Homo-oligomer: A and B are copies of this chain.
Amino acid sequence: MDSAALLDLLGNENRRRILRLLARKPCYVTEISDYLGVSPKAVIDHLRKLEEAGLVESRVDDHRRKYFSIARNLRLEVNVSPYQFGTKSAYPASPSLDMTGCRYLSLHVEQGDPEPAGEDVEDLTAELERLEGLENELSMAQRWVQGRLTDVMDRLSARFGENGRFYAEVLSALANGAQTTNRVARKVDAAPDVVEEVLTSLAESGLVERDGSRWQLTTRG
Residues of A within 8 A of B (CB): 4, 6-13, 16, 19-20, 22-25, 55, 69-85, 87-88, 90-95, 97, 99, 102-109, 114, 119, 121-122, 124-153, 155-156, 158-160, 165-166, 169, 171-172, 174-177, 188-190, 205-207, 217-218, 220
Contacts and interface: CB of A to CB of B under 8 A. Distances in A.
A145 B135 contact: yes
Number of copies: 2
Contacts of A108: 103-106
B70 A75 contact: no
Contacts of A107: 104-105, 141
A105 B137 CA distance: 7
B172 A128 contact: yes
A58 to B, nearest CB: 14
B133 A104 contact: yes
B75 A143 contact: yes
Nearest to A111: B144
Given A24-B189, A155-B119, A150 B104 contact: no
B102 A137 contact: yes
A147 B114 CA distance: 11
Contacts of A13: 4, 8
Nearest to A153: B128
Contact of A106 (B6, B19, B105): B105
